[in-house]
């Protein structure tokens, strides 16, 4: 199944799609360091990107997609999210970095069978509700393009009129969206992203988001009731360190949760050696980064919980709170390799640039394992249509 990856970043979303059987004909990313990361891993034959084409380092607004019409099953990408990020400037549709219109243009010109786009949870805040509806309507009716000098609100009005008119001609997609927490799908990080999936209406596909496979309740159960978590790691039970409110929650549980337990920081990185100032053995990107300090509201990620959301750092040094909180209360920055583990990037995947640059790439990325879960569900519906 052929695909096109826009706003590729460090490659997380695309790798998850490739794991589900999608092979990109085109990969577009404007950021030099992200392109270097993809290029170098591609040349090294690192896993899923080895079969990718060389990334096109360009502004997506410069790309003509019409040559791909009728040849592509899926278009994917993460339009720049800073306009909607909690850590950003909150300018949304007034921000020049808002690339949603370009994502819609790609769909209009390529006419793929399906698409998947993702963004930060901040897009779903109440203050952006009207613009969220605008995005969904654009993706549903991409042929109804915005006119020159037309405001986005006027364009939304035309889209709403078409939606309520009952007319069902032209290119249309059945669009669903949902906020997904990566921890609920086996990623050792509490990372919430809003995901949009659309299937072309003429295909008649009935699709839903995958069920959650992991739960926080099951982790608490194994830590506080059965002790299975501590036995698995061969460490002394430490449940007394949990928040009293969580302990009270466990006391109220009447039956064993059926899902898998959330994966924790310890699950993800316990087999890695302590980082040093030099390259550690065969591991790349595993160097100690000095300067970590805890302060109110920024205390790092406890070892025996799912990590907090890794951040790209719009303000200040990227990764400003991307720290490990040890059981003794001390903190240190996660190495790039540890952060890649928390994002489910493989150990063979090398992030290029300084620590802050590599952390920025990871902080903006989609966990490949989360992307794979979504892509597997899409592929199951597409494969019969492609045979």
pLDDT at 254: 83
Within the chain, where are the H helices? 12-19, 32-43, 100-110, 129-140, 152-165, 216-224, 228-233, 244-252, 265-269, 336-342, 355-363, 368-386
Query: Which residues partner with 304 through β-bridges?
Result: none
Question: Which positions are catalytic?
Answer: 81
- Percent of the chain, pLDDT > 90? 68
Please tell me the least confidently modeled range out of 85-94, 146-155, 344-353. 85-94
Query: Which residues partner with 319 through β-bridges?
Result: none
Torsion of Cα atoms, 37 then 290 then 329 then 187, to 10°: 0
243 pLDDT band, cuts 50/70/90, is confident
pLDDT at 96: 53
Phi, psi of 158 (to 5 degrees): -65, -40
358 pLDDT band, cuts 50/70/90, is very high
pLDDT of 240 strictly over 70: no
pLDDT at 279: 60
CA 310 to centroid of chain Cα atoms: 11
Q: DSSP label at 352?
A: P
pLDDT at 277: 63
280 pLDDT band, cuts 50/70/90, is low
Looking at the whole model, is its pTM more than 0.85? yes
Round to whole Å and give the CA distance between 56 and 100. 19
293 pLDDT band, cuts 50/70/90, is confident
pLDDT of 52 strictly over 70: yes
CB 362 within 8 A of CB 9: no
pLDDT at 72: 95
pLDDT at 82: 52
85 pLDDT band, cuts 50/70/90, is very low
pLDDT, tens digit, 9 for 90 and up, residues 127-151: 889 999 999 999 999 999 999 999 9
pLDDT, tens digit, 9 for 90 and up, residues 200-232: 999 999 999 999 999 999 999 999 888 999 999
DSSP string, 146-214: PPTT--HHHHHHHHHHHHHH----SS-EEEEEEEEEGGGGT-SB--EEEEEEEEEGGG-----PPPP-E
pLDDT at 117: 97
Phi, psi of 258 (to 5 degrees): -90, -20
The token duo for 80 is 């720049």
């Amino acid at each position: 199944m052929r695909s096109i990856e826009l706003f590729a970043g460090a490659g997380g979303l695309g790798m998850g799609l490739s794991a589900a059987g999608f092979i990109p004909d085109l990969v577009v990313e404007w950021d030099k360091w992200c392109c270097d990361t993809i290029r170098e891993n591609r040349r090294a034959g690192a896993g899923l990107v080895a079969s990718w084409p060389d990334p096109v380092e360009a502004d997506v607004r410069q790309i003509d997609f019409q040559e791909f019409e009728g040849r592509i099953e899926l278009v994917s990408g993460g339009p720049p999210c800073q306009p909607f990020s909690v850590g950003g400037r909150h300018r949304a549709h007034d921000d020049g970095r808002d690339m949603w219109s370009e994502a819609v243009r790609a769909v209009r010109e390529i006419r793929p069978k399906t698409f998947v786009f993702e963004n930060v949870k901040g897009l779903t805040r109440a203050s952006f509700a009207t613009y969220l509806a605008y995005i969904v309507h654009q993706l549903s009716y991409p042929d109804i393009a915005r006119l020159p000098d037309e405001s986005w609100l006027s364009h939304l009005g035309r889209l709403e009129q078409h939606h309520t008119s009952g007319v069902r001609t032209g290119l249309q997609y059945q669009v669903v969206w949902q906020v997904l927490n990566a921890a609920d799908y086996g990623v050792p990080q509490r990372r919430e992203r809003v995901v949009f999936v659309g299937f072309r209406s003429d295909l008649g596909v009935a699709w839903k988001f995958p069920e959650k496979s992991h739960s926080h309740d099951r982790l608490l159960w194994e830590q506080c009731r059965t002790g299975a978590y501590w036995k698995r790691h061969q460490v002394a039970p430490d449940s007394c360190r949990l928040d009293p409110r969580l302990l009270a929650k466990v006391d109220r549980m009447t039956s064993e949760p059926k899902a898998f337990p959330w994966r924790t920081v310890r699950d993800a990185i316990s087999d890695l050696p302590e980082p040093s100032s030099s390259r550690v053995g065969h591991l790349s990107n595993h160097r100690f980064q000095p300067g970590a300090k805890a302060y109110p509201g920024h205390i790092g990620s406890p070892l025996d919980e799912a990590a907090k959301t890794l951040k790209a750092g719009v303000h200040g040094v990227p990764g400003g709170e991307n720290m490990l909180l040890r059981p003794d209360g001390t903190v240190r920055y996660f190495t790039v390799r540890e952060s890649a583990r928390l994002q489910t990037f493989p150990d063979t995947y090398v992030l290029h640039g300084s620590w802050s640059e590599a952390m920025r790439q990871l902080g903006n990325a989609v966990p490949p394992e989360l992307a794979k879960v979504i892509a597997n569900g899409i592929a199951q519906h597409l494969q019969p249509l492609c045979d």
